[in-house]
Amino acid sequence: MTSTSEAVTGSTRWRVARAVSDAVRRRYGAQVMAVGVHGALAHGDDTEYSDVDLVVVTYQSDAGPAPTRRRVDGVLVDLGVIGAEEYLQHARTLSTSWPLVADRYLTTKAIHDPYGWHRELRDTHLARLAEAGGREFTTLARAAWCEARARYDEAAGYAAWYDTDSAVLVLSEARTATAVVQGLLQRTYFRGSADAVRRAGLGEASLPDVAAMLAGQADELAEAGCPVDSTVDSLFG
């Protein structure tokens, strides 16, 4: 009888991931430190609609294969390539996109990792989170809020001009951007844009719904001593 984990790792996506990993190691073996997957495969809940998010970690930057995105046996493969030190530097850096990228540092399933490098990546990011103060996250949240507000204003403008198609498109971007603000305020990371919007309760949010959440976030930021509104002089303080 096949266990759930065996069924998952024996899926078409896993077969393709291993085949690509093997090919990379055959051609660039001396340059490759580790190979792993993130996204649905790493979480063990991939489906027939999932792609393969594969990352090749090299000893030196600009080594190994070129990053690419192709279909292999009907499965979309996103092949990322990055130098080990550069990847660790990313893991040490907090930015406004943190809620959407942290999962890559914290949840990776190794295909090839003889030295436990992916564990080092995870520990590096966790150490960075442990030293980050609340002010750092609220400052990032304020910057993300301004981006979210810009996307909302753009969507509202299209709606006012009766450009419904453009309004719907940009509203989707505003939902994601607003969810990112929520992630920063709550120090919560997501598995991607769709997960962010769903968990923030913005999946079917209208323009007024997004406006209401942005207003609440602005109040929260002001209470935390990081207001979104400013005078000219305070812009530089």
DSSP string, 195-214: HHHHHTT-TT--HHHHHHHH
- Long-range CB contact pairs, 104-109, < 8 A, 24+: 104/38, 104/55, 106/189, 107/38, 107/42, 107/43, 108/36, 108/37, 108/38, 108/42, 108/55, 109/36, 109/37, 109/38, 109/41, 109/42, 109/44
Averaged pLDDT, 45-61: 95
The answer, yes or no, to whether residue 8 has pLDDT greater than 60, is no
Tell me: the pLDDT tens digits for 103-115?
A: 999 999 999 999 9
Q: What is the pLDDT of residue 1?
A: 26
Averaged pLDDT, 202-224: 97
> How far is 17 from 204, CA to CA, in rounded Å?
34
Tell me: the pLDDT tens digits for 54-63?
A: 999 999 999 9
Question: 4-131 belongs to which homologous superfamily?
Answer: Beta Polymerase, domain 2 (3.30.460.10)
The answer, yes or no, to whether residue 11 has pLDDT greater than 90, is no
User: Which run of H or E residues covers position 89?
Assistant: helix 84-91
- Up-side HSE of residue 158: CA atoms within 13 Å toward CB? 17
Q: What is the pLDDT of residue 229?
A: 94
Q: Where are the domains of the chain?
A: 4-131, 134-236
Averaged pLDDT, 1-19: 65
Give the pLDDT band of residue 2 (cuts 50, 70, 90).
very low
The answer, yes or no, to whether residue 45 has pLDDT greater than 60, is yes
Which residues are 52's β-sheet partners? 77
Q: What is the largest CA-CA distance in the chain?
A: 70
The separation between CA 10 and the C-alpha centre of its own chain, rounded to angstroms, equals 26
> How far is 82 from 64, CA to CA, in rounded Å?
9
The token pair at 45 is: 């809940």
Tell me: the pLDDT tens digits for 20-40?
A: 999 999 999 999 999 999 999
| Amino acid at the residue 100 | L
Residue 193: partners with Cβ closer than 8 Å, 6 or more residues away = 100, 176, 179
Q: What is the pLDDT of residue 171?
A: 98
Lowest mean pLDDT among 8-12, 65-69, 70-74: 8-12
Closest to 46 in 3D by CA, of 4, 8, 2: 8
Tell me: the pLDDT tens digits for 155-202?
A: 999 999 999 999 999 999 999 999 999 999 999 999 999 999 999 999
